[in-house]
């Protein structure tokens, strides 16, 4: 292990400048979900030049590389996402996005570059590699989700993948650190739409109308009772109404109100319970006031649940690679979503956070127009991923 650690340290240091340059190039040319044609082409060319077997167009714009080690052993997958966000960049860096309205504001440019650098280093260490490594470059993590189409295209088969690992750049930690959680670490980010259909009328004659706005107010309060009064308090639930639309004029009673929102849960059973409870409340309140409703609940990604043994493996490797301070255990999950969750529903694996914040310029949150990373994080990511691949015994 010590010898492998040293080799990885040396080889990742050699590739670091190239990976930073790759990241800057991806950063300047961001592509949104399922538009990752140029990014995918660049990824495929890079892998082919390393002698890695490449498959393109997997789950539309995804790219998969397979590197066989010189020794028999398990197959592990490492996954990066490639898509950018519809955000106009405001970092002012020289390598800022050249496309107005599109930006790598979630660090996926970094994830893609880290995985390419990892592929390069591992391709130089085939004699040390037991088994094979599948490099999964996934589209559309930000939505509508590229993991599921890649899974449907069989990304975890031929050869069957035994375990999968992924990372996300994260401004809560410093470069040289990773953040790791056990169990559920990210939420199911579901959506909903509620329409309340009353009866319009003159603002001076409410008794002749059915006011969808006052009913909407009751529904908003009622829905919050699910989180505070109906679900076991030890299980987190977020109910956020993000938009509310309705009405015509100050003196007209609105006939219809539409609200959209998001529900965040960590526990699959709680998640299943929520839509029914929501509908009961919406139905009860609207019928009590003589209104009608439409309700649509849209299931998005599942909660992201790290597998116990795989999280232990990441912790163990992380401490050997980065020292004991290098692994920060996360106590609180975040209620954001991540479609890496779909892979973990199929096979063992773990997802960890890669520290990227070394000061004010790299402290902005993910998705912020000034989001940026300390690029020292890239080599840390490569070192951890290489060692996860080289030491995995199945
Ligand atoms: Ni992201």
pLDDT > 70: percent of the chain: 100
For residue 341, report the distance from its CA to the centre of ligand 1, in Å. Answer: 13
Which residues are found with C-beta within 5 Å of the ion, ligand 1? 106
Opening angle at CA 208, ends 205 and 213, nearest 5: 75
Pairing state of beta strands 130-138 and 62-68? Answer: antiparallel
Taking the C-alpha atoms of residue 81 and residue 111, their distance in angstroms, rounded to an integer, is 6
Question: Residue 94: helix, strand or coil by DSSP?
Answer: coil
Tell me whether residue 172 is one of the annotated catalytic residues.
no
For residue 283, report the distance from its CA to the centre of ligand 1, in Å. Answer: 36
For residue 252, report the distance from its CA to the centre of ligand 1, in Å. Answer: 44
E strands, 302-386, are 304-306, 327-329, 349-355
What is the per-residue pLDDT for 1?
A: 73
Check 31, 35, 81, 83 and give the catalytic one: 83
For residue 339, report the distance from its CA to the centre of ligand 1, in Å. Answer: 9
Pairing state of beta strands 237-246 and 256-265? Answer: antiparallel
Check 89, 141, 211, 374 and give the catalytic one: 141
In the chain the domains, ranked by start, together with CATH numbers, are 2-186+303-391 (3.40.630.10), 188-298 (3.30.70.360)
Taking the C-alpha atoms of residue 126 and residue 102, their distance in angstroms, rounded to an integer, is 38
Which single residue is written with the structure tokens 């470059």? 137
Q: Within its chain, how far is the Cα of 344 from the centroid?
A: 13
Pairing state of beta strands 327-329 and 178-180? Answer: parallel
195-209 mean pLDDT: 98
Q: For 308-331, how does the pLDDT look when each residue is reduced to its tens digit (9 = 90+)?
A: 999 999 999 999 999 999 999 998
**What are residue 270's phi and psi, to 5 degrees?**
-60, -40
For residue 369, report the distance from its CA to the centre of ligand 1, in Å. Answer: 14
Tell me whether residue 141 is one of the annotated catalytic residues.
yes
Residue 278 has pLDDT above 90, yes or no: yes
For residue 74, report the distance from its CA to the centre of ligand 1, in Å. Answer: 28
- Residue 233 pLDDT class (50, 70, 90 cuts): very high
Instruction: In the chain, count H helices and then E strands.
Output: 9, 16
What is the per-residue pLDDT for 253?
A: 98
- For the chain, what is the mean pLDDT? 97
- Residue 394 pLDDT class (50, 70, 90 cuts): confident
Q: For 11-64, how does the pLDDT look when each residue is reduced to its tens digit (9 = 90+)?
A: 999 999 999 999 999 999 999 999 999 999 999 999 999 999 999 999 999 999
For residue 40, report the distance from its CA to the centre of ligand 1, in Å. Answer: 17
For residue 75, report the distance from its CA to the centre of ligand 1, in Å. Answer: 25
For residue 189, report the distance from its CA to the centre of ligand 1, in Å. Answer: 13
Q: CB 290: neighbour CB atoms within 10 A?
A: 10
């Amino acid at each position: 292990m010590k010898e492998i650690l040293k080799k990885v340290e040396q080889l990742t240091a050699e590739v670091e400048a190239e990976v930073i340059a790759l990241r800057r190039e991806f950063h300047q040319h961001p592509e949104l979900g399922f538009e990752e044609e140029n990014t995918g082409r660049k990824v495929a060319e890079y892998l082919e030049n390393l002698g890695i077997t490449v498959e393109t167009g997997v789950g539309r714009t995804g790219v998969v590389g397979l590197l066989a080690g010189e020794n028999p052993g398990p197959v592990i997958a490492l996954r990066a996402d490639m898509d950018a966000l519809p955000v106009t960049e405001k970092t002012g860096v020289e390598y800022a996005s050249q496309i107005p309205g599109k930006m790598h504001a979630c660090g996926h440019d970094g994830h893609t570059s880290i995985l390419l650098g990892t592929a390069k280093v591992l391709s130089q260490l085939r004699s040390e590699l037991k088994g094979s490594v599948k490099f999964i470059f996934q589209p559309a993590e930000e939505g509508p989700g590229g993991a599921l189409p890649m899974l449907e295209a069989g990304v975890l088969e031929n050869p069957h993948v035994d375990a999968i690992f992924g990372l996300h750049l994260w401004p809560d930690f410093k470069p040289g650190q990773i953040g790791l959680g056990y169990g559920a670490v990210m939420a199911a980010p579901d959506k909903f739409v509620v329409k309340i259909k009353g009866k319009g009328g003159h603002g001076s004659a409410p008794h002749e109308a059915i006011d969808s706005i006052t009913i909407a107010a009751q529904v908003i309060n009622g829905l919050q009772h699910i989180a505070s009064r109906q679900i076991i308090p030890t299980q987190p639930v977020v109910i956020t109404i993000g938009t509310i639309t309705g009405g015509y004029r100050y003196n007209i009673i609105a006939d219809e109100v539409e609200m959209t929102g998001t529900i965040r849960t960590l526990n699959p059973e709680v998640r299943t319970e929520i839509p029914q409870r929501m509908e009961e409340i919406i139905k009860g309140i609207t019928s009590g006031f003589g209104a009608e409703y439409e309700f649509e609940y849209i299931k998005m990604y599942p909660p992201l649940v790290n597998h116990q043994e795989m999280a232990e493996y990441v912790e163990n490797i992380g401490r050997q690679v980065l020292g004991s301070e290098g692994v920060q255990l996360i106590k609180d999950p975040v209620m954001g979503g991540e479609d890496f969750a779909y892979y973990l529903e199929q096979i063992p694996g773990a997802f960890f956070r890669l520290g990227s914040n070394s000061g004010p310029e790299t402290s902005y949150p993910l998705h912020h127009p000034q989001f940026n990373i300390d690029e020292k994080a890239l080599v840390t990511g490569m070192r951890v991923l290489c060692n996860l691949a080289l030491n995995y015994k199945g």
